[in-house]
Structure 1
């Protein structure tokens, strides 16, 4: 599978070394440094850490080539439609497709251990090939997250796309917000966010390159 996207200059802007072309990612920045929490209301919050994964563009290229991506179809009201992105889910017992993802999961579990009270265990990968690929408004409310606070940590690789959030009618109030994430940025949705807010990656009419999203979740949260 070919890879064509605009590499990031963010490593240079942070003063952190990028990985050499063709080499392994250099690693991770300090997770706490540059992490900013946005309070959404109704107990929901979003943490954003720009450029957390150093050498993220090399990791993106490897995942596009090596992950066994699947095209899926789902029931939508009275018809079956194509899911507008490629998918691959790794359950807790399955090895992740790259050791960097396992390291990211471990670091996130350690950093959020006190708040979350349990580790991140699964990883859902989405491949957005261009601006026509998207995910509609939803909350990750399958499992315990339908009743309890939880976290979903998202690492974005490749071209930046806008992740939008809006209050769920009848559950929260507030102004919609959005975050442009890509090239190794980290975004974590926590507290009541999955129950009281909805999030989406909407279709784009402007030219955008491919993006891979990795969603780390605790046990029994989808």
Structure 2
């Protein structure tokens, strides 16, 4: 494991964080490349029987299809910049990843509600490596069952890497809440190993 990845003190979880995994100028370059090269989509999901546009843009690249929230994502071929980032993340975490979900948060009104990455296709103990580029956003964790455990809030800044593994997805939910603060656009890459 990369020396900059430090464990977060969270019960029933294995979470590591490196706030400055990719230095600012390099992170800015990656951000611009991804903005220009990624095939961003505005997907819709069914909420309360109605199709609603997702409050962010997404893209799925890799070797396998992946279904979440009823959406089947057919993989697009790895871009060179995504390959480069995958190699750095694999080296840092000591794990391999065959797919990446990208989210583009265009403003503070783009968000991600409470959820866990616990789809069957990710296996019993999913490993998610989450790389942030661009504007800083607040990330929050809350324990599913234990009221005695405080929520965890984390600023995900440009170039930071968050690794969630072990029992984390079974016991914790996470989100990117909306904010009224002025924030810069942010790209989040979540590298995964899809097993089926």
Q: Is the 8 A contact 1:129 1:210 kept in 2?
A: yes
Q: Is the 8 A contact 1:63 1:97 kept in 2?
A: no
Q: Does structure 1 residue 53 correspond to structure 2 residue 22?
A: yes
Q: Is the 8 A contact 1:182 1:211 kept in 2?
A: no
Supply the distance in 1 between the matched residues of 2:77 and 2:34 (Cα, whole angstroms).
14
Supply the distance in 1 between the matched residues of 2:31 and 2:117 (Cα, whole angstroms).
24
Structure 1, unaligned runs of 5 or more: 1-30
**1:122 shift after superposition:** 0.4
Supply the distance in 1 between the matched residues of 2:188 and 2:127 (Cα, whole angstroms).
16
How many residue pairs were aligned?
Answer: 183
Supply the distance in 2 between the matched residues of 1:203 and 1:182 (Cα, whole angstroms).
16
Compared CA separation, residues 128 and 47, structure 1 to 2 (3 A): same
Compared CA separation, residues 129 and 98, structure 1 to 2 (3 A): farther
Supply the distance in 1 between the matched residues of 2:115 and 2:18 (Cα, whole angstroms).
23
Aligned CA RMSD, in angstroms, stands at 2.1
Identify the residue that residue 2 of structure 2 maps to in structure 1: 32
Identify the residue that residue 71 of structure 2 maps to in structure 1: none
Structure 2, unaligned runs of 5 or more: 65-75
Compared CA separation, residues 66 and 144, structure 1 to 2 (3 A): closer
TM-score by length of 2: 0.85
In the TM superposition, what are the counterparts of 1:205-220 in structure 2 within 5 Å? 205-220=180-195
1:161 to 131, 134, 137: 137
In the TM superposition, what are the counterparts of 1:1-222 in structure 2 within 5 Å? 32-42=2-12, 44-54=13-23, 55-92=26-63, 94-99=76-81, 101-113=82-94, 119-145=96-122, 148-169=124-145, 174-220=149-195
Supply the distance in 2 between the matched residues of 1:173 and 1:220 (Cα, whole angstroms).
34
Identify the residue that residue 26 of structure 1 maps to in structure 2: none
Larger radius of gyration: 1
**1:111 shift after superposition:** 4.2
**What whole-Å deviation, never above 9, does each CA across 1:174-198 have from its counterpart, x for those lacking one?**
2110111121110111111111100
Return structure 1 stretches of 4+ with deviation > 6 angstroms. Answer: none
Q: Is the 8 A contact 1:105 1:120 kept in 2?
A: yes
Supply the distance in 2 between the matched residues of 1:144 and 1:40 (Cα, whole angstroms).
25
Supply the distance in 1 between the matched residues of 2:195 and 2:116 (Cα, whole angstroms).
14
TM-score by length of 1: 0.75
